[in-house]
Structures are given as C-alpha cells and as structure tokens.
C-alpha cells in the first residue's frame, strides 16, 4: 500500500517541475534564465544570462532561420540598425531561434550579421520554453518554435519585452520599434 501513495506524489512532483513560471511569458524586471545556447557549432555553448552580464543588450527571437519574414524584415532590420543601437548604448545584439547551430551560422553568414548580431541556436527550445515564448509550429515548421519577440536587457534583467500578438507578425518586435524604447 506504500507504493500507491508514492506514485501519485511522484506524478504531482513531475507536473510542478515542468510547469514554466505558471505559464506566463518573461516580464519586465525578471532575470533571464541561465540556459546554454549554441553558437557556431553544438559544442560551442554560450550561457545567455552570462552573455548579458554587465551589458546593455538587445535580444530578439524569431520562429526560424531562412523563413521569409525573418530573413526579409526581422534580422535585416537589426543588422541595418546596428550602429543606431550602439549609439544608444547597446553593447550586444543577439538573435535566438529554435534551429541548430549550423543553420544559425549559415543564416548569419548569408545575411551579413557577422560582427553585428550574434546568432544563437536554441536547438531543443529549452530557452524559449523557459521564458514561455514557445509556440507549436509543427504544421508549418515541424516542431515547437520561438514566438517573435524583442527585449532590452540590462545586466541580465529584462527592461522591455515586446511579443508579437499572433506569435509571428512583424510589428512590435522590429528593430525600429525597439530603438524607440531606448
């Protein structure tokens, strides 16, 4: 009879530990989670919280590398506005997508992001799930992906967060909109 009580308790514990902050997206004033992402290759890990330590930075997420909206508008805007962000005190601009490191590297090379926007891969979606900005894009992109968002981060703490209402649109998370908030 002891086993009957252990199993439900174990199930309850599992459901609590897998719930992300009561299913609320990351908010202003919260600290970025300490999650390792990939840059360049899967073995080259970058801790996102450590990356923004002692820095003012821009973090933006896209549903997928090489997808039309991401490649034609979202990423190019941040590349083009690189100097404007620098002039406003931004130390680092980071793009995150649920893709592998090789795809993110190729996309960065293809768009001219080098030296301007760091291209970080979140291959399993661990980071976007931790900040509750993941959505199920299985019918179109084959798996869970990142909602389209942008943030201003200071020393690892979220100062501004913009999430596209429909997860994929191109309005509130564009570089021009974020520049207005600095």
Does residue 70 carry a catalytic annotation? Answer: yes
pLDDT value for 141: 59
Point out the residues of the chain with pLDDT beneath 70: 1-23, 67-74, 135-143, 166-171
Q: For 76-102, what is each residue's pLDDT tens digit?
A: 899 999 999 999 999 999 999 998 999
| Catalytic choice (37, 51, 70, 90) | 70
pLDDT value for 142: 52
Question: Cβ contacts of residue 137 below 8 Å, gap of 6+?
Answer: 63, 64, 143, 144, 145
Residue bearing tokens 């309005």: 171
**C-alpha distances in Å from residue 157, one per residue of 58, 107, 108, 153, 175:** 11, 28, 26, 5, 19
């Amino acid at each position: 009879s002891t086993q009957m009580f252990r199993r439900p308790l174990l199930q309850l514990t599992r459901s609590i530990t897998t719930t992300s902050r009561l299913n609320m997206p990351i908010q202003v004033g919260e600290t970025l989670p300490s999650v390792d992402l990939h840059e360049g290759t899967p073995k080259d890990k970058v801790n996102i919280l450590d990356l923004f330590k002692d820095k003012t930075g821009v973090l933006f997420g896209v549903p997928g590398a090489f997808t039309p909206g991401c490649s034609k508008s979202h990423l190019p805007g941040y590349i083009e506005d690189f100097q404007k962000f620098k002039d406003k005190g931004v130390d680092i601009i980071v793009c995150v997508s649920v893709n592998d490191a090789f795809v993110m590297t190729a996309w960065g090379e293809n768009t001219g992001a080098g030296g301007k926007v760091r291209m970080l891969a979140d291959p399993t979606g661990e980071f976007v799930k931790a900040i509750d900005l993941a959505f199920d894009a299985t019918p179109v992109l084959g798996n869970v992906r990142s909602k389209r968002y942008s943030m201003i981060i200071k020393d690892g703490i979220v100062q501004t967060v913009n999430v596209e209402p429909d997860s994929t649109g191109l309005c509130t998370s564009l570089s021009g909109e974020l520049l207005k908030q600095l």
